[in-house]
Amino acid sequence: MNTNYQSLFESFSFKSGGQLKNRVVLAPMTNFASHPDGTVSDIELDYYKRRSKGVGMVVTACTYVTANGKGFNGEFGADSDEMIPSLRRLADVIKEQGAKAVLQIFHGGRMCPPELVPNGELVSASAVAAGEGKEPRALEEAEVEEIIHAFGEVTRRAIEAGFDGVEIHGANGYLIQQFFSPHSNRREDRWGGTLEKRLSFPLAVVDEVKKVVEKHADSSFIVGYRFSPEEEETPGITMADTLTLVDALAEKDLDYLHVSLMDFWSKPRRGVDNTKSRIEYLLETIANRVPLIGVGSIHTPEEAVKAIEAVPLIALGRELIMEPDWVEKVEQGRENEIATTLSKGDQEALVIPDALWQAIVNTPGWFPVVEENQR
């Protein structure tokens, strides 16, 4: 191995005691491959098996905590105890490859396709549609409590299924973010109104998850939280709002925070000046209280090393779809063999489920798709 890349392969210990063999994480990415009943499919297991050997930790695609939170076709479920055997299959496959298995848990809220939820009824913090989407129904206060409880129940199922941790999905415009956002949360009860009240739901979910972990898991069980730093809408989440959220989360004794970015070094849009990157602002606010996982357009080992100089852990998403052996090739000094594109003939070699493959090749600009097979 090139000694310049040594920092990527240092082990890492979380506050809880969980240990990773290196600093590279498989980012959570929806693959649209589960069965209609919410159970994990064989091709999904093969997809994770192919990408779990080199990394220190795998964060799975998100799983819904209640039936009215299903956000994607082909998403696997965790909303009942009947799903535990399915979840166990996934945890086992990841752990057998030597990586920690972390289940990402979420509720889609107003972002759910109506055809995937009971009676086509969307729910959210308030009756505010996302763009041209269907208007959701504002959750009653008792329903808010039920969903918080559901996050705890899914955490218990993750523990029983053998996962090493859970990641609370508070990013990408889904329900937890909807409660934090002044765009989607127009409530006037204890769950909305002021910035402080808009923090209530995310923090209540964290508290519920940690309570369940304390009761049902051993001390090494990992709990993380993923967030998006800004929203385009006005009103919407600003970078200043997110720094308030992150400051509160840093006091919650979590194992890590995970920022959702398309570009690791991107700069803020509003709320703070743009003389520094979002990562720099986040690290200043966190002040070494909790580890931050960075992500976003990291493809080469050089880019990864530069990122790891700023944060203790990096997540790779698209790059590990294109190059499942990325970590091993860097470790073996074969970095010149790393693929940073894919061609339309690569699906079988890369073990990519059909629906995800169709999304990759038919979404311009998402992946660098080339005509000629380079493998």
Reference 346, options 315, 326, 368; nearest CA is 368
Classify residue 274 as exposed, middle or buried by CB count within 10 Å of its CB (0-12, 13-18, 19+).
Answer: middle
**Which one from 48, 174, 256, 281 is the annotated catalytic residue?**
174
Cβ distance 338 to 310 under 8 Å? no
Cα–Cα distances (Å) from 259 to 38, 98, 244, in that order, read 27, 24, 14
Determine the distance from the C-alpha atom of residue 81 to the mean position of all C-alpha atoms in its chain, rounded to a whole number.
23
Q: Give the helix, strand, coil percentages of the chain, each rounded to 5.
A: 40, 15, 45
What are the structure tokens assigned to 207, written together? 């508290």
In the block, which residue shows the tokens 């964060």? 59
Determine the distance from the C-alpha atom of residue 173 to the mean position of all C-alpha atoms in its chain, rounded to a whole number.
12
Separation of alpha carbons 286 and 284, rounded Å: 6
Determine the distance from the C-alpha atom of residue 203 to the mean position of all C-alpha atoms in its chain, rounded to a whole number.
17
| Residue 174 annotated to the active site | yes
Which amino acid does the sequence have at 285? T
Which amino acid does the sequence have at 129? A
What are the structure tokens assigned to 367, written together? 């992946």
Cβ distance 295 to 24 under 8 Å? no
The number of beta carbons lying within 10 Å of the beta carbon of residue 148 is 18
User: Going along 178-329, which residue ranges are E strands?
Assistant: 222-227, 256-259, 292-295, 313-316
The number of beta carbons lying within 10 Å of the beta carbon of residue 131 is 6
What are the structure tokens assigned to 374, written together? 């380079």
Reference 64, options 77, 80, 50; nearest CA is 77
List residues with catalytic annotation. 174
